[in-house]
Structure 1
Amino acid sequence: MPNESIAGLVKDLTSQLSAIAVEFGTRADRLAHESDSGVPMGAAALDPRELAKQLLAQRMARFDHFPAELFHEPAWDMLLALFVAHEERRTMNVKTLVASAQAPVTTSQRWIDHLHKLKLIDRVIDPVDRRRMEISLSDSGYTAITAYLRRLGAA
């Protein structure tokens, strides 16, 4: 009888060790894949547009709990808003862009000028109402934000 229980224990132990070996093999394959590609195996990359919307919502939620003066990045808020607008095929004018920045108008306008100088955004006079200026991401601005969001989504 003791030999049968020892044989059963050995059989169970062998089965458990086999399962552990399979798990270690799977993890080793995953690590090898991650080091080759930089992207975790099986990780579903988040859609950049959805990620941008989540980032904007998270940034806005901070104002519910902390003073606005702690979080003052109007340029980043504007770039995210312009990315979402681009992805949703909406145009933005200066007024709507300034509203998305949660900053004073003059501060936002200075940032719009700076983003334009950095060639991250384009400014075009609205063909319907020449008093308004349409703002959009430039090709290089779109490329930079998309690459950044994809990197975040893969992390």
Structure 2
Amino acid sequence: MNNFSCICTKSSFANRIEWIKCEIKNKELRKNLLPDIMLGDPAWEMLVELYLARLESRKVATKELGIVAAVPPTTSLRWIAHLQKTDLIVRESGEDKRRSHFALTELGLFKIESYLSKVSSI
């Protein structure tokens, strides 16, 4: 098996977690094939990560969102603020006030699920 083995196909939509992981691998593939071209949308990368986190029942911290989006911390914070303002993500309060976690809102979940449904029917 080579690095080119993960191409999201209609059959891979049966398992949403596998599809999202495939989407992440495809991003890595694009980055390796086109290293001099900035690909991707930080907001989309963050939404995909939060969707995967929801499926895997885990929390995502502010710093992690910046890492998956591959942007500097200040850019990450701007995108997080934008996603909150558009009601796609929400800050979750926890016991440790020093660390913020985020999750998809119901609207954010609906939008991602709608996208997956439309893409799976292609």
1:54 aligned residue: 22
Letter in 2 for 1:56: I
2:78 aligned residue: 110
Q: What does 1:40-79 correspond to in 2, within 5 Å?
A: 46=13, 47-67=15-35, 69-79=37-47
SS of equivalent to 2:111: helix
Q: What does 1:63-102 correspond to in 2, within 5 Å?
A: 63-67=31-35, 69-102=37-70
Give the RMSD, CA atoms, in angstroms: 1.7
Unaligned runs of 5+ in 1: 1-42
Quote the Cα distance in structure 2 between the aligned partners of 1:103 and 1:68. 15
Unaligned runs of 5+ in 2: 1-9
SS of equivalent to 2:92: strand
Quote the Cα distance in structure 2 between the aligned partners of 1:51 and 1:125. 29
Residues 83 and 121 of structure 1: CA distance in aligned 2, closer, same or farther (over 3 Å) = same
Letter in 2 for 1:143: F
Q: State which of 139, 142, 150 in structure 1 corresponds to 2:106.
A: 139
* TM value normalised by structure 2: 0.83
Q: Which has the greater radius of gyration?
A: 1
Quote the Cα distance in structure 2 between the aligned partners of 1:51 and 1:150. 12
How far 1:68 moved relative to its partner?
A: 5.5
Paired positions, count: 112
1:54-103 alpha-carbon deviations (Å, 9 max, x no partner): 11110122111213542141110000010000001011110111111111
Residues 132 and 68 of structure 1: CA distance in aligned 2, closer, same or farther (over 3 Å) = farther
Q: What does 1:14-25 correspond to in 2, within 5 Å?
A: none
Quote the Cα distance in structure 1 between the aligned partners of 2:70 and 2:36. 9
Letter in 2 for 1:154: S
In percent, how many aligned pairs have the same letter? 33
Matched, 1:122 2:116: no
1:29 aligned residue: none
